[in-house]
């Protein structure tokens, strides 16, 4: 099936309305392009639940806190169209910046504490810009369901709060993280890694897995969990850990003591590429693991 590629809002709304008249549920998969297997999982889930699948491809300038990052972001539109065509996508919405923001955006979404922590602390304005464009896309497409990856846990939490607080009639669906064979979460940003840096990227998942192991074994102290996880990060000048924290999965605020399900989230710079990842962990009823001493 060849998807219809639309660059303007009006014909997109007409095409979605046509699908609705035939009784089809509409699913939206918002992306910034450079599609990979993680995006394909989102599309696959949308295809299972919706008769009309819309994939948006738009590199949103409002959510970039650094111009060089925006300029470097990959934009392989023709390859993305081919991926969508082979995945059963019905409509591709690939607007220009001028179509999405015909005038300078004066009204943006003001977010609460959920966006202040983790990535929000280090990327000022990022979540405001992301939430603004997602709200615009939800208003433009008006889907029944919208699909987002759990790899971007804070983004997903923000969007769920956004839809709830603004009474947007859409079901926000989280789709599990897709990983490479070595555990590295698939991301468009992985394209920016050299072969040597790609090997180093494994260390973030290994650190998160170590945290998960300690929590599953009964460790309740968040600091001890993150300290143990941090030991799995190699000493390398190309690596810079931005954060590694244990947070409440609902509000993403730091927890000192783990009493229930916890999200261990990390952001790691590898050269000029910033990667994020997370694991949802559950403590067992076992007593806390012993803290290693000496060597």
Picking from 141, 175, 209, the residue at the C-terminal end of a domain is 175
Residue-wise pLDDT tens digits, 29-85: 999 999 999 999 999 999 999 999 999 999 999 999 889 999 989 999 999 999 999
Average pLDDT score over residue span 202-224 = 97
| Averaged confidence pLDDT in the chain | 93
Spatial separation of the C-alpha atoms in residues 225 and 207, rounded to whole Å? 10
Looking up residue 87, the CATH number of its domain turns out to be: 3.40.50.620
Q: Do 156 and 227 have their domain in common?
A: no
Cα atoms in the 13 Å half-sphere on the side-chain side of 16? 26
b/e for 66-95, b at 16 or more Cβ within 10 A?
A: eeebeeebeeeeeebbebbeebebbbbbbb
Distance separating alpha carbons of residues 139 and 30, to the nearest angstrom: 13
Q: What's the confidence (pLDDT) of residue 1?
A: 73
Same domain, 123 and 204: no
Same domain, 161 and 43: yes
Q: How far apart are CA 54 and CA 79, in angstroms?
A: 17
Query: Tell me, what's the pLDDT at 104?
Result: 81
Q: What is the DSSP string of 186-227?
A: P-GGGGG--HHHHHHTHHHHHHHHHHHHHHHTT--BHHHHHH
Per the model's pLDDT, the better-predicted residue between 288 and 134 turns out to be 134
Residue 290 lies in a domain: no
- The number of distinct structural domains making up the chain is 2
Catalytic residues: 39
CA distances from 120 to 82, 125, 146, 152, 184 (A): 34, 8, 23, 12, 22
- Quick one: pLDDT at residue 108? 80
Q: Could you report the per-residue pLDDT of 83-118, keeping only the tens digit for each? A: 999 999 999 999 999 999 998 878 888 898 999 999
Percentage of the chain with pLDDT > 90?
Answer: 89
Domain span at 257? 188-281
3-state secondary structure of 20: helix
Biggest distance spanned by C-alpha atoms of the chain? 69
How is 61-96 classified by DSSP, letter by letter? GGG-S-HHHHHHS---HHHHHHHHHTTT--EEE---
Mean pLDDT of 169-187: 97
* Residue at 103 is within a domain: yes
Query: Is there a domain that residue 286 lies in?
Result: no
Same domain, 77 and 121: yes
Residues 6+ apart with CB under 8 A from 90: 1, 3, 4, 19, 52, 53, 54
């Amino acid at each position: 099936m060849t998807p219809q590629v639309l660059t303007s809002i009006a014909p997109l709304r007409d095409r979605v309305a046509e699908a609705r008249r035939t009784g089809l549920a509409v699913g939206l998969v918002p992306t910034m392009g450079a599609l990979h297997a993680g995006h394909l999982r989102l599309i696959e889930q949308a295809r299972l639940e919706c008769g009309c699948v819309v994939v948006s491809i738009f590199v949103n300038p409002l959510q970039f806190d650094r111009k060089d990052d925006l300029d470097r972001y990959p934009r392989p539109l023709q390859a993305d169209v081919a991926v969508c065509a082979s995945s059963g996508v019905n409509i591709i919405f690939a607007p220009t910046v001028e179509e999405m923001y015909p005038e300078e955006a004066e009204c943006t979404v003001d977010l609460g504490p959920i966006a202040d922590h983790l990535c929000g602390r280090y990327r000022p304005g990022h979540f405001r810009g992301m939430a603004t464009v997602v709200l615009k896309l939800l208003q433009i497409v008006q889907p029944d369901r919208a699909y987002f990856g759990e790899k971007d846990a804070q983004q997903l939490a923000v969007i769920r709060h956004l839809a709830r607080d603004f009474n947007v009639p859409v079901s926000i669906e989280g789709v599990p993280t897709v990983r490479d064979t070595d555990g590295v979460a698939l991301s468009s940003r992985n394209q920016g890694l050299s072969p040597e840096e790609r090997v180093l990227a494994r260390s973030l998942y290994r650190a998160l897995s170590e945290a998960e192991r300690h929590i599953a074994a009964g460790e309740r102290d968040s600091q001890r969990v993150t300290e143990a996880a941090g030991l799995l990060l190699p000493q390398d000048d190309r690596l810079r850990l931005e954060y590694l924290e244990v947070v409440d999965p609902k509000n993403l605020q730091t927890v000192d003591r783990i009493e229930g399900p916890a999200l261990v989230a990390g952001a790691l710079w590898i050269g000029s590429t910033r990667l994020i990842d997370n694991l949802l962990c559950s403590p067992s009823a076992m007593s806390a693991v012993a803290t290693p001493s000496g060597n």
